[in-house]
Amino acid sequence: MSTSGRRRVVVTGLGAVTPIGNSVPEFWTNLLAGKSGAAPITHFDTSLYDTHFACELKNYKATDFLDRKSSQRMDPFAQFALISCDQAIADAGISLKGEDPDRYGVVFGSGIGGMATYDTQFKNLMAGGPGRISPFFIPMLIPDIASGNISIKHGFKGPNYATVSACATASHAIGDAFRIIQYGDAEVMVCGGSEAPITPMGLGGFNAMRALSTRNDAPEKASRPFDAGRDGFVMGEGGGAVILEELEHAKARGARIYCEMVGIGFTADAHHITAPPEGGDGAVRSMRRSLKDAGITPEEVDYVNVHGTSTPLGDISETQAIKTVFGEHARTMKISSTKSMTGHLLGAAGAVEAIAAILACKNDIVPPTINYEHPDPACDLDYTPNVAAKRVVQYALSNTFGFGGHNATLLVKKYAN
């Protein structure tokens, strides 16, 4: 029990399928090496689009992880969810043998859900009428089917639902799971997010918003957070899962503990459907709430894994918010955007980036922000340019901000008895 009277929560398992690795070890190795996941899109013909590239999964076959029948009845976003959760559950060594399944739950989100399924079934409708629509259309489409599939496969009967808050989705899922354990409603929670948005409609929609980079001549250089030459984000796909567990439960079964989760902050901008407010007021309040929740001062934070999307306005707004929250300490902290390598995984971003923050805290090394070549005077902090950096990380903070003005901040701490 913590000094606040709330139960302590630790991280005991991680899983990920990402554009730079289909497992957590591969993902982490490539993060530290500064490897870009951006390349020309292979899923469909992009010749009529403004953007021709994205961060797709590499060497991915669903049947390498799932049986053929199951994979055929799941949209890619649900595949990524189940695969990353299977990895995390195995990593944590979780077994329901002798356990109460009501004390195990799932909160797992997706910002969009089954977009590829929608594209396919709409084509079927147009080609042959409603009789051509698959009976699996709705179960493959809805965002909550991922959390449902996870609980069905593993027998977890505790709290189970999905979060949907655009790019803040997975962070909200992790934060909710944290609270569920703190308040005594579960002992173990599987949480995170997944997304599979690289479809004709997905690419076309973000191009119509002029949100994406169009650096088609050099895709691997396109995601460049905080660089003066940034021109938009790069779409990514994948999933990330985290196992959160009540501390005494984890110790009793001899679990390996990555770190302790100690604070969350959730706020709204109440400003604009896509643009952040000048100065990043919502981000400021979100970060401050996470610090207050953890009971620490700004000066105790060593590393911030920023939202850092590589958009002209977003990167400036987040930089301003960090300066407001941390003052002079903002210039001594390590900061990095792993989106420079993974691209923007939308509803999965918060989970994949939380894993990066957790591993930075566990291993005392900060992944870089790659493609940082031309400093922007409005973005003047230490973004760990291009090369990973050794740094003792006692506290790491992870920011995610979503369309609609949703802000979520997660705070983890190096584990100590």
Separation of alpha carbons 105 and 159, rounded Å: 5
Q: What is the pLDDT of residue 5?
A: 77
Mean pLDDT of 308-320: 97
Whether 307 is catalytic is yes
What is the band of 417 on the pLDDT scale with cuts at 50, 70, 90? confident
Separation of alpha carbons 254 and 74, rounded Å: 35
Element of type H or E holding 290: helix 281-294
Neighbouring residues of 145: CB distance < 8 A, sequence distance ≥ 6: 74, 75, 78, 113, 114, 139
What average pLDDT is seen over the chain?
A: 97
Neighbouring residues of 30: CB distance < 8 A, sequence distance ≥ 6: 20, 21, 37, 341
Give the up-direction half-sphere exposure of residue 303: CA atoms within 13 A in the CB hemisphere: 33
pLDDT digits (tens, 9 = 90+) for 120-151: 999 999 999 999 999 999 999 999 999 999 99
Domain boundaries, the chain: 9-252, 264-413
DSSP for 223-238, written as a single string: --TTBTT---B-BB-E
According to CATH, what is the number of the domain 9-252?
Answer: 3.40.47.10
Catalytic residue among 191, 344, 379, 406: 344
Using only the alpha carbons of the chain, give its radius of gyration: 20
Mean pLDDT of 17-27: 98
Q: Assign 207 to helix, strand or coil.
A: helix
Query: Which long-range CB contacts under 8 A does 178-182 form with residues at least 24 apart?
Result: 178/9, 178/244, 178/261, 178/264, 179/264, 180/105, 180/107, 181/7, 181/9, 181/244, 181/245, 181/246, 182/6, 182/7, 182/9
324-349 b/e (C-beta count within 10 Å ≥ 16 → b): bbbeebbeebbbbbbbbbbbbbbbbb
% residues pLDDT > 70 (the chain): 99
Separation of alpha carbons 351 and 324, rounded Å: 25
pLDDT digits (tens, 9 = 90+) for 201-247: 999 999 999 999 999 999 999 999 999 999 999 999 999 999 999 99
Element of type H or E holding 76: helix 76-92
264-413: same fold as 9-252?
yes
List the one residue out of 56, 341, 74 whose CA is nearest residue 202.
56
Record the pTM: 0.97
Q: What is the pLDDT of residue 206?
A: 97
Q: Looking at the predicted structure, is the pLDDT value of residue 48 above 90?
A: yes
Separation of alpha carbons 254 and 256, rounded Å: 7
Topology of domain 264-413, CATH: Peroxisomal Thiolase; Chain A, domain 1 (3.40.47)
% residues pLDDT > 90 (the chain): 97
Separation of alpha carbons 117 and 124, rounded Å: 11
pLDDT digits (tens, 9 = 90+) for 331-373: 999 999 999 999 999 999 999 999 999 999 999 999 999 999 9
Angle at 348 between CA 288 and CA 187, to 5 degrees: 70
Catalytic residue among 85, 167, 191, 379: 167
Separation of alpha carbons 123 and 142, rounded Å: 18
Q: What is the pLDDT of residue 2?
A: 58
Whether 379 is catalytic is no
Whether 55 is catalytic is no
Q: Looking at the predicted structure, is the pLDDT value of residue 1 above 80?
A: no
* Residue 214 CB coordination number (10 Å): 15
Separation of alpha carbons 268 and 110, rounded Å: 19
- Cβ–Cβ < 8 Å for 209, 277: no
pLDDT digits (tens, 9 = 90+) for 154-207: 999 999 999 999 999 999 999 999 999 999 999 999 999 999 999 999 999 999
Q: Assign 5 to helix, strand or coil.
A: coil
Q: Where do we find the tokens 């000048």? A: 278
Element of type H or E holding 139: helix 137-141
Q: For 8, which DSSP code?
A: P
Separation of alpha carbons 262 and 149, rounded Å: 29
Catalytic residue among 52, 172, 307, 406: 307
Q: What is the pLDDT of residue 4?
A: 64
